[in-house]
Amino acid sequence: MSGLYSSPSHSLLEEALSFGEADDAVYLSSSRPKAALPSGGGGGGGGSGTVVLIEDCVETNGGFILHHLIKRALSPNRPSDVVVFVSFAHPFSHYDRILRKMGCNLSGHRENKRFIYHDMLSMNSPGSVRDGIEATDDLLMTLYGKIQKAVELYSSPEGSKHVTIMIDDISLMEVAVNGLSNHVVDFLHYCYSLTTQFGCSMIILNHEDIYSSLEQLSPLLHLEYLANVVIKAEPLATGLATDVHGQLTVFNKGICRRNGKSKSKIRNFQFRVKENKVEFFYPGSQT
Amino acid sequence: MAAEAIIRALRDGALEGEHAPALTIEDSIHSPLSPSVFNHIIAHLFSNIFTSKSQPQGIVLVAFSRSPQFYAELLQSKANDVTSLNQWVRILDCHTDPMGWKTRLVKNGIIANPSVEIAAPVSLCENVKDLDKVFSSIVELGREFVKDKKGRFAVAIDSVSEILRHASTSSTASLLSNLRSHDQISCAVWSVHSDLHEKKTLSALEYMSSMVGIVEPISQTTTSQGSNYDNLPLMEQNFVRGKFSARFKRRNGRIRLMLEELHVEPTGIKFVPSSQDDLISQSLVPKVQFNLQLSEKERNDRAKVVLPFEHQGNGTPIQIYDGRKSLNESNRENKDYTVHKQTEDAGRGEITYFRDSDDEMPDSDEDPDDDLDI
């Protein structure tokens, strides 16, 4: 089917993530010490000061959105973007393999210092388990110190890069700190303070269904309040289908600024994960 | 009306021997607009302080969820110049380094943490868990612009939800209670995300506030099973529009409810009269044979009646007294007074009458002398 709905494969997600044309104006009028922020960071989920929360569930893995956003941040037409990646979920080789199929050389970017990878998997191993709240605090503080150090390095006037902090994923981070979810929210608050201090942005992945029994008082809500954009990945309501793998709902709350708010929007569309790319389309527009 | 009444109450501040008026702003994730309402109210409060129309002589902002730069820029746009921020605003920064991590990391030489230039005076709080310290910092900051003993200042806390994450309900309640009973604090404003806390915590906050403003979604779009995606346009509406209901607690225990609609616009937020207002007041009244309410026409007719003691048709506009006279008004009054003196010589008496503010129904059971300080 062609016509009204036919569009380049990922533009639906791009459109849903963007904050409208006013976004670039924010950069120019911003009173941050850095005079010129790289315009490459504009127009999208990688934009300055944004927090994107990806919520997935057991039936539909949201990891592909993260891969897609890594690829977008490291694409050749955004030369001034740097990704600081904190992984609790997979080793580097996992991301390297997937991104290579998508046409993005992660090892190369790692050597060029555009992809800074923090391996937090070792934190989970029994040998390094330390208990006590203070130890947890120290652990998160040390990790935060590493992140801020990287952000300072690349956001400095000499570096002048747009940094995106990515965390995969929050639930495993909670496991790593022995289930103290409040400490994880503290950590995320600190990362969030970097987005206003240095104009970087943040993309985090979390699972929705593991909090379902906690009802209202969940730490997930804290994250939802923190985020400008929430992306929910869910299976189709009608059950499994061969050529549709699930649906995405993007809640774009807009950026709140002192003189008002950019336009908020909600988009819902379906996706199909292919070997080397993801296709996004409106329901019913795929034959 | 509701938002205006709140702003007026905050402007008028505390009476001698009473607690300061306090406002709780609540919202939920389906219509997360309490930050917008909070910004709207502190901006108005600041303009009142700036034009010295209000009892508070300055405002202490406790920033938890937003950076101090954000608030400095917000208030600067109201004031036009930087010096006025120095004069009337102090910010207690609980956002940048709430647990002291950054300070410790700087000490260990791991990060440099360059400071950002902010237009308003900011003091950093490095341990938000210590609420006694937070309280004494707020009072200390407030005393900086209150010169004489009788002066008062306003306190605004942008997120009690953040405090509750670090401290227990009882210690949070004690902080807020100490604030509103402090004799140099004129009024207090705080906002909270209602769905992050238990009902009892919220009730504790509401008991301590003389006004509660609640932002609710205009349309209920979610079911217990989660979101219903057939209603995307309606859900989108909830990000920019909301029902704003305000509950005022009078000193004599009377509760007044007001309902308004809230629109977020590119330039700020706007309150419009709620279309459902009449509907609700009617449904509350039991069904009876005779008329309890005035019809629209009857209300209009009554508004047109000029009371015998109001000046009738002598050209001067009718002045409505809304709680406080501003400076130029009292000047004019003096002038009027001299004119009156001349006429008095001609052997005529005259009654000068200011009609009271219109937000109360004339024949309500309210004690008309409630506000008098006898």
- B141 part of a folded domain: yes
3-state secondary structure of B68: helix
Residue B228, in any domain of the structure: no
How many percent of chain B have pLDDT more than 70? 75
Give how far Cα B44 sits from Cα of B53, B54, B67, B268, B346, Å. Answer: 11, 11, 20, 12, 46
B32, B39, B104 member nearest A225 (Cβ): B32
Give the pLDDT score at B53: 82
Domain hosting B264: range is 2-221+235-284
Residues whose CB falls within 8 Å of the CB of residue A8, separated by 6 or more in sequence, listed in order: none
Q: Are residue B250 and residue B310 in the same domain, yes or no? A: no
The mean pLDDT of chain B is 80
Same domain flag for B144 and B67: yes
Contact check, Cβ <8 Å, A264/B240: yes
**pLDDT tens digit sequence for A93-109:** 999 999 999 999 999 99
How many structural domains compose chain B? 2
B323 confidence band (pLDDT: 50, 70, 90) = low
Which of A14-18, A63-67, B319-323 is the most confident on average? A63-67
Is the model's pLDDT at A132 over the cut of 70? no
Q: pLDDT digits over A249-262, tens only?
A: 999 887 765 555 66
Note whether A33 contacts B114, CB cutoff 8 Å: yes
Same domain as B160, residue B307: no
What are the chain B neighbours of A267 within 8 Å (beta carbons)? 232
Contact A259/B114, CB-based, under 8 Å? no
Pairing of strands B122-124, A260-261: unpaired
Looking at the structure, tell me whether residues B309 and B334 fall in a common domain: yes
**CA gap B69, B96 in Å, rounded:** 10
Helix B2-12 and helix B34-50: axis angle, to 10°?
A: 50
From the list A33, A137, A149, the residue facing B117 with the nearest CB is A33
Q: Please enumerate in sequence order all residues whose Cβ is within 8 A of that of A179, keeping only pairs 6 or more positions apart, or say none.
A: none
Reported as type and span, the H/E element at residue A248 is strand A246-252
Q: Are residues B101 and B162 in the same domain?
A: yes
B148 domain residue, yes or no: yes
The H or E element that residue B312 is part of is none
Query: Are residue B270 and residue B307 in the same domain, yes or no?
Result: no
In this structure, the answer to whether residues B12 and B158 fall within a common structural domain is yes
CA of residue B368 relative to chain centroid, distance:
23
- Kindly list the residues from chain B whose CB atom is less than 8 angstroms away from the CB atom of residue A137: 99
pLDDT band at A212 (very low <50, low <70, confident <90, very high): confident
A103 at B interface, C-beta within 8 A: no
User: How high is the pLDDT of residue B254?
Assistant: 84
Q: Based on the fold, state whether residues B28 and B75 are members of the same structural domain.
A: yes
What digits encode the pLDDT tens for the residues A149-200?
A: 999 888 877 777 889 999 998 988 888 888 788 889 999 999 999 888 888 8
Chain B touched by A242 (CB under 8 Å): no
Q: Which of residues 142-161 of A touch B (CB under 8 A)?
A: 144-146, 148-149, 152
Contact at CB, B111 and A145, closer than 8 angstroms: yes
Q: What is the pLDDT of residue A175?
A: 86
Q: Looking at the domain assignment, is residue B39 inside a domain?
A: yes
CATH number at residue B167: 3.40.50.300
Distance CA A145, CA B110 (A): 7
* Averaged pLDDT for residues B71-98: 85
A28 pLDDT more than 50:
no
The reply to whether B300 falls in a domain is yes
User: ω before B97 within 30° of 0 (cis)?
Assistant: no
Judging contacts by C-beta atoms under 8 Å, the chain A residues touching residue B105 are: 141, 144-145, 148
Any idea which of A32-36, A181-185, A202-206, B115-119 has the lowest mean pLDDT?
Answer: A32-36
* In-domain check, residue B138: yes
| Neighbouring residues of A270: CB distance < 8 A, sequence distance ≥ 6 | A236, A244, A245, A246, A247, A248, A280, A281, A282, A283, A286
Do B209 and B339 belong to one domain? no
Give the one of A31, A149, A265 whose C-beta lies nearest to B110's C-beta: A149
Average pLDDT over residues A21-36: 34
* A190 part of contact set with chain B, CB < 8 Å: yes
User: How many CB pairs (< 8 A) connect A and B?
Assistant: 106
H runs (alpha helix) in A61-180: 63-73, 92-101, 106-111, 133-155, 170-176
Taking only the tens place, the pLDDT of each residue in B30-70 is 888 899 899 999 999 998 888 888 888 889 999 999 889 88
Question: B115 to chain A: nearest residue by CA?
Answer: A197
Q: Is the dihedral of CA A196, A202, A207, A208 positive or negative?
A: positive
Contact A258 B77 (CB under 8 A): yes
Sign of the four-CA dihedral A232, A238, A239, A244: negative
pLDDT on residue A41: 38
Preferred mutation among A225, A231, A268 to probe B, highest tally of B CBs within 10 A: A225
* Nearest neighbour of B70 by CB, restricted to A185, A232, A258: A258
Interface test mutation site (partner B, options A258, A269, A270, max chain B beta carbons within 10 A): A258
Facing A141 at nearest CB: one of B66, B104, B266:
B104
CB contact A268 to B (< 8 Å): yes
Domains, chain A, in order of start with CATH, read: 11-281 (3.40.50.300)
Asked if the structure places residue B289 within a domain, the reply is: no
Percent of chain A clearing pLDDT 70 (strictly above): 77
Q: Does A125 touch chain B (CB under 8 A)?
A: no
Res. A131: pLDDT tops 90: no
Does a structural domain hold residue B230? no
The whole-number pLDDT of residue A32 equals 35
Same domain, B249 and B136: yes
Both B308 and B265 in one domain: the answer is no
B88 with B180, same domain? yes
> Of the given ranges (A186-195, A198-207, B175-184, B307-316), which has the lowest mean pLDDT?
B307-316
